[in-house]
Amino acid sequence: MNPVLLWFHQLGSPPIFDRFAARWAPWCYAVAFLLMGVGLWQAFQVPADYQQGDSFRIFYIHVPSAMMSMLVFGLMAAYAAIALIWRIKLCEILAMACAPVGAAFTVITLVTGSIWGKPMWGAWWDWDPRLTTELILLFLYLGVTGLYHAIDDRRAAARAAGLLAIVGVALLPVIKYSVVWWNSLHQGQTISLFGDSKMDPSMQLPFWLMFVAVQFWFAGSLLSRARADNLRRESGKDWVAKLAAKS
């Protein structure tokens, strides 16, 4: 068997995944902290925006978080679909571990957006399509987490919550294109991963640093949360008892 494929199959084993997560989560966090440190330092070095003044610096935490809120939901649905189709327990765990991290990014998006909106729009909140759909995304994350914890049987709970995640994916294009489809208060796309950005290149470096940093943060958080859930599910097994005795 191909060694990469073999490694991937072995990773489905709970004790091997536990070792993998315990080993790599701290490294992911370390890279995230480093990049975030540099990114945030850079965010306060670039000149203030000629219209928004310094409030534009909120952009460096708001936009990466907003992108992650959608990316994480997509990934959660993908894991949930794999878990439903191939009944891979690890994918159930990973899908359910995505929900609180994605909810955290969504909360950051909503709160920082609201704080930016007050001086720029004159209001903390508006029932604008982008804001409203992002709020619905938060409710979906909370729904997935709530449903997962409401059912005692872990596997049945993961299947039910996974189904909700898969259905919820329909919201992602609505969030993404809400600023195109409706002429609303929220500004259009400022920065693009693959196309032209409307932001001056001199202001982009902190954004890209923060964008990569939140990816590493997500990886660290996902591994840690999945490890905790894996330990909970395997609590009666020998390998957990041995691990607990060693720690």
Partner 1 sequence: MTYVNYVVGAYAAFAIVMLWDFIVPRLQIRRELRAARLRKTRAAKRAEPVELSR
Q: What residue ranges bind partner 1 (CB under 8 A)?
A: 29, 40, 48, 53-55, 57-58, 61-62, 65, 100-101, 104, 107-108, 111-112, 115-116, 118-119, 217, 221, 224-225, 227-229, 231-232, 235-236, 240-241, 243-245, 247
Type of residue at 200: D
Are 114 and 170 spatial neighbours (Cβ–Cβ below 8 Å)? no
Compute the distance between CA of residue 223 and CA of residue 148 in angstroms, rounded to an integer. 18
Least Å from the CB of residue 224 to partner 1: 4
Smallest distance, Å, CB 222 to partner 1? 9
Q: Which is nearer to partner 1, 10 or 235 (CB)?
A: 235
Q: Which amino acid, 146? A: G
Pick between residue 146 and residue 173 the one whose CB is nearest to partner 1.
146
CA distances to 125, 174, 176, 198 from 180, in Å: 20, 10, 8, 15
Q: How far is the CB of 180 from partner 1 (least distance, A)?
A: 26
Least distance in angstroms from the C-beta of 147 to partner 1: 19
Question: Are 111 and 64 contacting, i.e. CB atoms less than 8 angstroms apart?
Answer: no
Estimate the share of the chain in helix, then strand, then coil, as percent rounded to the nearest 5: 80, 0, 20
Report the residue number, 36 or 84, with the smaller CB distance to partner 1: 36
